[in-house]
Amino acid sequence: MKKNRKSKLKRRESLMGYVFVAPWMIGALVFLIVPLIQSFYYSLQNVKITPKGRVFHFIKFQNYTDIFRLDPLFLEDLTGYLLDTLLSVPVIVVFSLIIAMLLNGKMKGKGLFRTIYFLPVIVVSGPVMAQLADQGAASIPAMNVSAITSILGDLLPNLLVEPIVGLFNNMIMVLWYSGVQILIFLAAIQKIDSTLYEAAKIDGGSGWECFWKITLPTIKPMILLNAVYTVIFLSNNEQNVIITSIYNDMFAINRGYGFASAKAWVYSLVVCLLVIFIALLLRNKKDNYITEVKKEKKRIQKIEKERRQLRNRQARRSKGLKREGSN
């Protein structure tokens, strides 16, 4: 009786859960799952827009091969994007961590500094950044880029030089992209229990040690989150050439939806792989202590099993002996 009522309550709870989440479920179906399937369908078709409407023509995977055949720039853009992202992500993450550390703690003018450093969150937008970059306001004027270029040219292979120089050229842009990341780090740092630091200081830990032993391990999940966020931000950014090219292909007469869809699929695959790569790189490795405990448990289990087997054998043997004795 009691159990029945409880399950009824549970059922009602879960029903209410569906009611609350329902908008998202419908939205995900209409704007995510169905379009995904359709987009894949498009990517296998040659879509032509005629006065009568869209005409589909099944061409298998030709769109995918066409990307590399007809659009030689795409591959170049893609490798450029990958290198750029792989270089910018560590810079942005480390930089935002440093700023968050600086902004944390007691000091005068905290509000003012925070206002300045959160500003990019508000301002950053495609056209605005494009205008600023056009006018050369995105690079630090005091930095001598050409000197850096010549030094790097001697040290590194050509493939790497260009993105690094690009990074220096657009240094301010990179810094501006780290607004949200600073926010996330700051919120995470502030959540660390201050008694931890006090205890560490009593034990004689320096600020440096505290950072490596307390701050960094605690905010490690946030590093992953920020890295992933940065990748996604950079990939969906309007400054990204690939995004623009997909958009242009969509309305191009000789290419159309099918071609653009195929391109979008290739691009998303690359982005997803990149995210997975970073997630694997930064994933929380299991605690050493826990793995040791598990090993020990396994060992004990193994010993116990052997002991049991031994006992069984002995019991059988003694039984046999008894039987022999009775005989």
Partner 1 sequence: MKTNKTKLNDKVNFVAPKLNKDKLKKYMMGSKDRQGFLPMLIKYILLIGIGFVYLYPLLYMISTSLMSLDDLLDASIKWIPSQFYMGNYKNAFKVMNFWNSLKDSLILAGLPTLLQVATCAVIGYGFARFEFRGKKIMLAILIFSFILPAQVTMMPTYVLFTNLKLIGTLHAFNLPALLGQGIKAQIFILIFYQFFKQVPQALIEAAHIDGAGYFRSFFRISLPSAAPAILVVFLFSIVWYWNESYLTTLFISGKGTSSANAWTSLVVELKNFESIYEQYNQGSQQQLGNINESIKMAGTMLSILPLLLMYVFLQKYFVESIDRTGITGE
* Binding to partner 1, residues 87-146 (CB under 8 A): 99, 102-103, 105-107, 111, 113-128, 130-132, 134-135, 137-138, 140-141
Interface of this chain with partner 1, residues 35 to 54, rule: CB under 8 A: 35-36, 38-39, 42, 54
Q: Which of 55, 153, 156, 191 binds partner 1 (CB under 8 A)?
A: 191
The smaller minimum CB distance to partner 1, of residues 128 and 293, is found at: 128
Contact assessment for residue 197 and residue 210, using Cβ atoms and an 8 Å cutoff: yes
Interface of this chain with partner 1, residues 264 to 293, rule: CB under 8 A: 264-265, 267-268, 271-272, 275
Q: Is 321 in the site for partner 1 (CB under 8 A)?
A: no
Q: Is 228 in the site for partner 1 (CB under 8 A)?
A: yes
Span of 14-22, 65-73, 85-93, 291-299 interacting with partner 1 by CB under 8 A:
14-22
The smaller minimum CB distance to partner 1, of residues 72 and 126, is found at: 126
What is the nearest approach in angstroms of partner 1 to the Cβ of residue 309? 40
What is the nearest approach in angstroms of partner 1 to the Cβ of residue 212? 17
The smaller minimum CB distance to partner 1, of residues 94 and 128, is found at: 128
Q: Is 213 in the site for partner 1 (CB under 8 A)?
A: no
